[in-house]
Amino acid sequence: MAEIAKEVNGGDARDLHSLLFSPARDFLIRKNGEQVKIDSLKGKKIGLYFSAAWCGPCQRFTPQLVEIYNELSSKVGFEVVFVSGDEDEDSFKDYFSKMPWLAVPFTDSETRDRLDEVFKVRGIPNLVMIDDEGKLVNENGVGVIRSYGADAYPFTPEKMKEIKEEEERARREQTLKSVLVTPSRDFVITRDGNKVPVSELEGKTIGLLFSVASYRQCKEFTSKLEEVYKKLKENNEDFEIVLISLEDDEDAFKQDFDTNPWLALPFNDKSSSKLTRHFMLSTLPTLVILGPDGKTRHSNVAEAIDDYGVVAYPFTPEKFEELKAIEKAKLEAQTLESLLVSGDLNYVLGKDGAKVLVSELVGKNILLYFSAHWCPPCRAFTPKLVEVYKQIKEKDEAFELIFISSDRDQESFDEYYSQMPWLALPFGDPRKTSLARTFKVGGIPMLAALGPTGKTVTKEARDLVGAHGADAYPFTEERVKEIEAKYTEMAKEWPEKVKHALHEEHELELTRVPVYICDKCDEEGQIWSYHCDECDFDLHAKCALKEDANINGDDAVKEGGGEPQDGWVCDGNVCTKS
């Protein structure tokens, strides 16, 4: 914010009128066509809302902003001005019809472009808070509204500091009542709608389950948690769970809650978003544990529930130390057979469908490839891995790779596996669950390397293959050090800094960059880049240096294909200019 504030609020800063004014217009418009004089905004806090109909994250954020606007506009001096990024007037009009505030006319593209430039808008939705003099108050209006809603008004740095200090005080003085009781509610509910006073939960160990019923990960975790909950109840443990649903669909909330045995906050309870901040939620599902004193015992035991089930109770530091020791002993005793043999399941599949006994693989270097056909990054990585696999097999027959599928049906598995030259676990094999838990597979593609003894060499083999290809084999720490030494030696003859015609503004500095796209040839590069940090500009060594520089041959920087994307890219909660 400081950089934009310095530019907007500096000596050459425009006032509100000059920000929104054009020579042909001294007004803004409402959706009914009414013209509102810019000067009528004097004395108000203004949010400049950069948004567009084509932007999914914008469409999701706009109703939330409408709710906050309706709450504030009638009580305090708050106004919003829509600055459209739409590509045609019909889209603008249709989108603007859902908004109760003002807008820069669509026809005034010059003002809209100028505001984009003044406030350095690189992604939408973007909500910039300014005062009635046009000075920047808060550039992160979207984040502030999502997190604090109307409570953040007037959105000034002083108000944000006050909110942060109050949050810290609440964490220090936390009790069960301060977490679950609000001025309008002192109860939680059962699935049949009965109210249970929060006071009845005091003195118990409480799990606060943050979840969204429609998320697959939450559904899977909830079924495991229900088993743990029932076992603890059978053991007469003083334990209770309170669901804090972040679901925005009431029917989905009810359908989920009706199948679970625990308590919950009412649907769409306003304290839910406050609690996500209070416990600094970063992932879903999350199960926060409060001790009998109401203090936070653990910020998230979801992974522990997945790994250990009821054994992890009561989720104390002592219990986790005990589990850590057990896990360490288990890892030290790990063999290929302990990982891949379960009862009668003592084999994997060969390409011809024949069973290959795990015992035949003992003593080899093994890669475990967690992947799925529905996963675009997996489909992009698999062809490179096939190439690397073949290169390694040419050098060492005592090497094998096993595909562990997360595909959704046999047909998808068969189609995907047909592209692979290695072994596989059968589709739907129950060993997949235990392997995913052992290697803590949080995302795919994931590649784990095992040594000849069956012990884990690294869980980061995907990165090593991406950076070094077959040269990374056998993926040991010693081999990585050898490669690092080679790259260090390779760069000794290169200048530390260069000037280049494609980037005359700054010198380019020789920098270690894991992966980048060269701004000259548009191809992928790894390890060494001539880089400008300020401009995020990269050149391969071969592109930055003269053609006769000693950068070719066996020690050349590895490269691959890749094209930069044009226009806008939508990812998660934001659409950004690439």
Residues of the chain above pLDDT 90, percent: 70
Q: What pLDDT is stored for residue 8 in this prediction?
A: 52
φ, ψ at 295 (rounded to 5°): -85, 155
Cβ pair 315, 297 in contact under 8 A: yes
Q: In this structure, what token pair is assigned to residue 561?
A: 């294909």
Residues 6+ apart with CB under 8 A from 148: 163, 277
Residues 6+ apart with CB under 8 A from 181: 198
Q: Which one-letter DSSP state was computed for residue 563? A: -
CA 173 to chain centroid = 30
Residue pointed to by tokens 């389950």:
209
Helix (H, G, I), strand (E, B) or coil at 181: coil
Cβ pair 306, 221 in contact under 8 A: yes
Tell me the pLDDT of the chain (578 aa) as tens digits: 445 544 555 444 468 888 999 998 999 999 999 999 999 999 899 999 999 999 999 999 999 999 999 999 988 889 999 999 999 999 999 999 999 999 999 999 999 999 999 999 999 999 999 998 899 999 999 999 988 889 999 999 999 999 999 999 999 999 999 999 999 999 999 999 999 999 999 999 999 999 998 888 898 899 999 999 999 999 999 999 999 999 888 999 999 899 999 999 999 898 998 899 999 999 999 999 999 999 999 999 998 998 889 999 999 999 999 999 988 888 889 999 999 999 999 999 998 889 999 999 999 999 999 999 999 999 999 999 999 999 999 999 999 999 999 998 999 999 999 999 999 999 999 999 889 988 988 889 999 999 999 999 999 999 999 888 999 999 999 999 998 888 888 788 888 899 998 998 899 999 988 778 899 888 888 788 999 988 999 998 888 886 434 443 343 333 333 332 334 444 443 334 33
Measured CA to CA, the distance from residue 402 to residue 422 in angstroms comes to 6
CA distances from 226 to 241, 243, 259, 423 (A): 10, 12, 10, 36
Residues 6+ apart with CB under 8 A from 459: 439, 440, 446, 448, 449
Q: For the domain 336-483, what is the CATH superfamily, name and number? A: Glutaredoxin (3.40.30.10)
Cβ pair 198, 265 in contact under 8 A: no
Cβ pair 290, 176 in contact under 8 A: yes
Task: Map out the domains of the chain as residue ranges.
Answer: 16-160, 174-316, 336-483, 494-545
Number of neighbouring beta carbons within 10 Å of residue 557: 18
Measured CA to CA, the distance from residue 341 to residue 335 in angstroms comes to 10
- Strand 568-571, strand 574-577: pairing: antiparallel
Helix (H, G, I), strand (E, B) or coil at 243: strand
- Strand 355-357, strand 347-349: pairing: antiparallel
First-to-last C-alpha distance (Å) of the chain = 21
Q: What pLDDT is stored for residue 562 in this prediction?
A: 33
Burial of 457 (0-12, 13-18, 19+ CB in 10 A): buried
Per the document, the length of the chain is 578
Buried b (16+ CB within 10 A) or exposed e, 20-35: bbeeebebbbebeeee
What single letter denotes the amino acid at residue 100?
P
- DSSP H/E element including 410: helix 410-417
What single letter denotes the amino acid at residue 54?
W
Which CATH class name applies to 174-316? alpha beta
Which CATH class name applies to 16-160? alpha beta
Cβ pair 106, 98 in contact under 8 A: no
Buried b (16+ CB within 10 A) or exposed e, 373-411: bebeebeebbeebeebbeebbeeeeebbbbbbbbbeeee
Q: What pLDDT is stored for residue 538 in this prediction?
A: 93
Cβ pair 313, 323 in contact under 8 A: no
Q: In this structure, what token pair is assigned to residue 545?
A: 């240096």
Say whether pTM exceeds 0.85.
no
Same topology for domains 16-160 and 336-483, yes or no?
A: yes
Buried b (16+ CB within 10 A) or exposed e, 196-222: eebeebeebbbbbbbbbbeeeebeebb
Q: What pLDDT is stored for residue 14 in this prediction?
A: 60
Measured CA to CA, the distance from residue 48 to residue 82 in angstroms comes to 6
What single letter denotes the amino acid at residue 129?
M
